[in-house]
Structure 1
Amino acid sequence: MKKSGVSVADIVYTSSMRINNSIGDAVILNAVSNYGYNQEKLSEGVVLLEDSEHLVQSFDKEHGDVKAAYAQRDKQQENANVTYRKIWGIAKVALKNDTSAQITLQLSGRRAVRVGKWFLQTKSFYTNLLANTDWLNAMSKFGVSEEMVQAGFNEIKTVNELDEVIKREKGDAQNMTQKRDDKLEELYEWVSDYEEIAKIALMDQPQLLEKSGIIVKN
Structure 2
Amino acid sequence: MATIRRRTEDQLIETYRVSLMNVENQTEIATTMAEYGYDLATITKGRELLGATITAFNFNQQEDNETIQARSDFDVKVSLMTEKYASHRRKAKVAFRKDDVTMKQLGLTGSYSRAYVKWIATMKTFYSGVRSNAAHLAKLLVFKITEDEITACITEINALETTRTLYLKEVGESQEATKAKDKALAELEEWMSDFYAVAKIAMEDKPQLLESLGLLVRS
- TM-score (structure 1 length as normaliser): 0.89
Show the counterpart of 2:61.
Answer: 60
Q: How many residues align?
A: 214
Mapping 1:1-218, distance limit 5 Å:
7-216=8-217
**What is the percentage of aligned positions where both structures have the same residue?**
27
Q: Distance in 1 between matches of 2:183 and 2:156?
A: 41
Structure 1 position 216, deviation (Å): 4.5
Q: Partner letter of residue 181 of structure 2?
A: R
Q: Distance in 1 between matches of 2:90 and 2:187?
A: 59
Provide Cα deviations, 1:56-82, integer angstroms capped at 9, x if missing partner. Answer: 222222111111111111111222222
Provide Cα deviations, 1:117-167, integer angstroms capped at 9, x if missing partner. Answer: 321221221122223333223323433332221111111221111111110
Which structure has more RCO (C-alpha within 8 Å, separation ≥ 6)? 1
- TM-score (structure 2 length as normaliser): 0.88
In structure 2, the residue corresponding to 1:142 is in which secondary structure? Answer: coil
Q: Is there any run of 5+ residues in structure 1 with no aligned partner, and where?
A: none
Q: Distance in 2 between matches of 1:148 and 1:205?
A: 77
Provide Cα deviations, 1:93-135, integer angstroms capped at 9, x if missing partner. Answer: 2222211111121223334434333212212211222233332
Q: Distance in 1 between matches of 2:149 and 2:211?
A: 72
Task: Say what the alpha-carbon RMSD is for the aligned residues.
Answer: 2.1
Q: Partner letter of residue 96 of structure 1?
A: R
Q: Determine if contact 1:94/1:139 at 8 Å carries over to the other structure.
A: yes
Q: Is there any run of 5+ residues in structure 2 with no aligned partner, and where?
A: none
Q: Distance in 2 between matches of 1:102 and 1:68?
A: 38
